[in-house]
Amino acid sequence: MPGPWANRILPVAAVATIALLWRFPSYTLLLIPVLGVMLASTLLATSPRTRAGIMALILGIGIPVAGFENSFLFELFIQIGIYAALALGLNIVVGMAGLLDLGYAAFFAIGAYTWAIFGSPQAAAFIEGVSFPLPGWPYFYIFAALAVLTAAAVGVLIGLPALRLRGDYLAIVTLGLGEVVRVLANNLDHPVNITNGPKGISPVERPPVDWLLQFSEWIGHPISLSEAYALFFYFLVLGVMGLIVLINHRLDRSRFGRAWVAIREDEIAARSMGIPLLRTKVLAFATGAAFSGIVGAIFSAKQLFVSPESFTLLQSITILAMVILGGMGSIQGAILGAAAVTLLNIEVLKTLSDGLNHLRQSGFVLDLGFWSYNFSNLSSQLEPAKYERMIFGIIIVLMMIFRPTGLIPEKRHKLEMESSRRRRAS
């Protein structure tokens, strides 16, 4: 689509989709066309002003207004933002540097426990003379910054021995180290109770939002405390994700980004050009871990509860699936992959399961003339929401067969594919 046409059509499409979402806020599947407009504005030849206007309209006005009518929209977008930030962090390690990390959820756990331990009464179990929990203001923001440093430091400690390996060996070692962090969180309840073990930590303090309640009363539209926290975490996650996207863009165009890509393409050639392999790999590992750390701190404050079950190997594989689905090395791809997998997990499969249950209970008969089927005979075990991991596996296999570079290929990969096609054609 030419740039001028995109600049005219996409703003109209954005207004139309937001109007539909405002009219029918309970139909959360309307988020798919809304996200489609946002994606089109980043991929097509739109002007920066048009792109910024569409993002501001949808994210700054459209979703918050609809979210007050259907609070699940806030929850859904917060989950998408959290996973998008995690996918962007893993995208640096896997997509840019070409290092297969199967223990990425460990850094997520470190960030979550960094604030959960001190933002709850848990720290009183091993620290005397200090009143716990620490108040949300200003300590949440201090510990969120500390979570970045802690996760990055652990990334360096894990990376120094692990990144001397390559390929499958690296994947196995990172998988093991990720499980070590989870098992430590599960067992550090004795002899000193640091993490409260499998019981988890609760309640975790949140930053106060009194200012938001006062502002809503001042403008004449008072909101409840739960709505204030939903709005607060929505914009907090949105701001952190925007910062991570900006850092990713800067890194992609920096000498560090070029060094990561060089290592991904050919380690021997990169070393011959003077790139220090271990130091550059460790920097990629630490940068990805730092992004995961701050998201973990936000996650613990939002959920009010942290336990080892939130940071399993399955969590790491889910984030990796987001990166692969979107396109390894692609910033827009990582965000799209996170949005697609989160929507599939939370909304699409659940809606499909509810629809099949309704048809089964109503005894609906599908009659095509030559064939008919009574849905009351449908097995109660057939619920798509139960088979989400199998569906992820099928999607990944199909992607590897038909579109191995992902939904939005990285520009370098796209150029390589086009040149290889031209060579084959000639």
Dihedral sign computed on CA atoms, order 395, 396, 401, 406: positive
Kindly state the greatest CA–CA separation across the chain: 79
Is the separation of the CB atoms in 97 and 282 below 8 Å? no
| Dist. CA 170–CA 102, nearest whole Å | 9
| Dist. CA 243–CA 237, nearest whole Å | 10
Six token digits for residue 221: 């539209």
Over its length of 426 residues, how does the chain's per-residue pLDDT go in tens digits?
455 777 889 999 999 999 999 999 988 888 889 999 999 988 887 888 899 999 999 999 999 999 999 999 999 999 999 999 999 999 999 999 989 899 999 999 999 999 999 999 999 989 988 889 999 999 999 999 999 999 999 999 888 888 888 878 888 989 998 899 999 999 999 889 999 999 999 999 999 999 999 999 998 889 999 999 999 999 999 999 999 999 999 998 899 999 998 998 888 999 998 999 999 999 999 999 999 999 999 999 999 999 999 999 889 999 999 998 999 889 999 999 999 999 988 888 888 888 888 888 888 888 777 788 888 888 777 777 777 778 878 888 888 888 888 888 887 766 666 666 676 666
Which sequence spans correspond to the domains of the chain? 1-69, 78-318
Residue 20: which residues within 8 A CB-CB, separation 6 or more?
A: 30, 33
The distance from CA 417 to its chain's CA centroid, rounded to whole angstroms, is 28
Distances (CA, A) of 296 to 113, 133, 185, 292: 8, 18, 14, 6
Q: Which residue has the tokens 């994700």?
A: 241
Burial of 303-315, coded b for 16+ CB within 10 Å and e otherwise, reads bbebbbebbeeeb
Instruction: Answer whether the bond into residue 203 is a cis peptide, omega within 30°.
Output: yes
CA-based nearest residue to 64, from 22, 13, 15, 26 = 22
Concatenating the DSSP letter of every residue in 212-230 gives HHHHHHHTT----HHHHHH
| Dist. CA 226–CA 125, nearest whole Å | 30
Is the separation of the CB atoms in 173 and 100 below 8 Å? no
Beta-carbon neighbour count of residue 367 at 10 Å?
A: 9
Counting every residue written for the chain, the total comes to 426
Phi first, then psi: give them for residue 365, nearest 5 degrees: -110, 120
CA-based nearest residue to 27, from 66, 59, 80, 60 = 66
Q: What was the pLDDT predicted at 419?
A: 66
Which one-letter DSSP state was computed for residue 121? G
Beta-carbon neighbour count of residue 167 at 10 Å?
A: 10
| Dist. CA 158–CA 177, nearest whole Å | 7
Distances (CA, A) of 367 to 124, 354, 373: 66, 21, 7
Q: What was the pLDDT predicted at 113?
A: 97
Q: What was the pLDDT predicted at 426?
A: 64
